[in-house]
Structure formats: structure tokens, C-alpha cells
Amino acid sequence: MKLYRRDRVWYLTFYVRGKRVQESTGETDRRKAEKFYVRRASEVERGEYSQSARITLAQFGEQYLDYAKANKRSWLRDEQIMAHLNAAFGKTQLGDIGVLQIEHYKLDRLKQSVSPATVNREVALLKHLFNMADQWQLYFGRNPVKGVKFLQEDNLQIRCLSDAEEERLLNHCSPYLQDLVTFAINTGLRLGEILSLKWQEVDLESQTIKMLVQKNRRMLEIPLNAAAFAVVNGWYGLRKCQNVFYNPETGAPWKDLWLGLNKACRKAGLVDVTWHTFRHTFASRLIRNGADLVTVKELLGHSSVTVTMRYAHTNREAKRRAVGLVGGNGVKLVSLPPLQVQTGR
């Protein structure tokens, strides 16, 4: 068994049953690579080593997406992320993807003005892909993403739309996009939840949505305000499938609405606006208008109020009103007479 370096990443070469095997340790540090070397040598000696399948990330991604469509409500987002991962690693064998390549991917995405949070979601999916490949016995070895640090996210900087920005954006959206943006702002649902919303989850009589949040397996109940109900009622008259929202041209659910939103934002002169911005806007407006954090937590489907606390700092107007109430309790303050300034003669 031999340990060697290629492009700063350490690799192993060894023989199993007369067949030469090359494997990336996924490490740029020699000490960590040597530990990997010892572990792999022990597995080969005991006859416990199993070689990973010769499969590229793109090939495995196709299998994973078939699984995600059957088991995940948010599979559309996974499909969008896979497009970026395939652009970088699609033709690369799973066993050849190492820590250094992933670090380069992070830097390249940041250079494209992608937010740290988005990059982290993409890297997190890559980590999940390796875990699934291991579970399906298509990949054996250390998950390379375990050696990658996630980027620091500034969760206190929340992008919300003002009323004027919302109006400007809607004026530059196509009719179907206007409906979806309006619905997102007035329900706080994630894009994946909106695109996968079924009519069986909508109660038109009580004007309520009742759905299971796949992210935390919690039941979510959202009353529809006038704006959201108007959107749903309009689509009810045009329904062609079990999905509330669908592509009118094909009659099938949408696969990607990011390009349409980005185009509308450019025309409206808006920056840093994503579909999650509408969820932030929904939550911030609730708090601004006096809703308590527990109610906001329930409407957003958060598992803990701690997550909802990130919106508390946006409630400046409510805080000002609350402080103003203290001044109305009838307490009289002692007024001191003005100072007498003596001047010399």
C-alpha cells in the first residue's frame, strides 16, 4: 500500500485480490491521511474492505432524485441544488471528490455572489449524498464533507420587502408569478411547500391550509387572509391536477421558478431577494403588527420559539409603542428650576 499526494490531496494505491485500487483519502493534511492509511490497510488485511462503485456524482444524483421525489416534499430544491453540484462535480467519481475540491467549490460559489447560507445548503446536500451512497453500499470510505467547515451565516441580517418594494416587484412579475409571490408573502410558506401544495390540504370553506411540514414532521395550520384566499380561489377555478399551483402551459408542477423571480427582481431594481425573503417578510410583518412570538412560531411551523427569535429584533415599532405605554402611568417627575448663572461685574 502506497500513500502519495496529487493536487495537495493525499491518495492511496493498493491491491485487493490482485486488482489495483486508487482511492482519495479526502485529506490535505498528511497526519490525517496517514490515519486513513492505517485504517484502510487494516480493513484490507482483515478482508473487510469493499470497493466503492465506479459511479459519478451525476449518475448517483439521478438515483438520489428518484428517491427524493418519492420521499421528500422538498425534492424540487434538491433538484435545483443538484444542477450546481453537477456543474462542478458531475463527471467526477464519488471516490475522487475530496475536501480540497469542495473548498474550491465554496469559494467559486461565493465569487458568483451566492450567499453563505445558500452555499451551506448546497454543501449540506453533498454531505447527504455521500451518506446515502454509503447507506446504499455504493460508496465506502470517509465522507469528504466531514472535513469541510460550513460558512459563517449572519442570521441577524434578515432581508424583508417593504410595501413599496413589494408593489414594484409585483408590477414586473408575470401573472402567475404575481400570484405565487403574493401567496408566499401572505402565508410564509417555503417555495417547496407552495409548489407541492395539494387541494386536499386546502379547506376553502374555512379558508385554511392544513399540511404536514416534512422538515420537522409537524402539522401546520395557516388561516388564509384576504390576499392569499383570493389567489387560491382564482386557481381553484382553473384546477387541472391535484396541485394547487402548476405550469399552465404543461399542466404539470413547476420545476424551477428561480429564473423567473431573478428576472423580475432585475427589472424592479431589487437585490438580495430570494423566495425565502417572502417568508421573512411574512414573519416580520406579523411581529410589526403586534403578533406574539408563539403565534408566529406556529404560523411558520418552527419546532422551537428559539428559531423564531431571530425576527424579534425587527419589531422596532412595537417596541416603541410598548415603551410609550410606560410614560402614560401618571407618574410625575420632579422638575428642577433652571440654573442661575452668575456673571461677574
Domains and CATH numbers, the chain: 2-46 (no CATH), 57-147 (1.10.150.130), 163-320 (1.10.443.10)
Which residue matches cell numbers 404543461?
250
Mean pLDDT, residues 116-133 taken together: 92
Which residue, 319, 280, 248, 270, is CA-closest to 160?
280
Mean pLDDT, residues 197-210 taken together: 94
Please determine, for residue 177, whether its predicted confidence score (pLDDT) is greater than 80.
Answer: yes
| Average pLDDT of the chain, as a whole number | 84
Distance between CA atoms of residues 124 and 267, nearest Å: 32
Per residue in 77-108, pLDDT tens? 888 899 999 999 999 988 889 888 999 999 99
User: Residue 113 carries which DSSP code?
Assistant: T
The 10 Å CB-count burial string (b at 16+, else e) for 8-41 is ebbbbebeeeeeebebbbbbbeeebbeebbeebe
- 313 — pLDDT class (breaks 50, 70, 90): low
Are 231 and 182 spatial neighbours (Cβ–Cβ below 8 Å)?
yes
Which residue, 168, 177, 119, 176, is CA-closest to 148?
119
pLDDT at site 108: 93
Which residue, 188, 169, 190, 177, is CA-closest to 271?
169
Mean pLDDT, residues 72-81 taken together: 81
How many C-beta atoms lie closer than 10 Å to residue 112's C-beta? 9
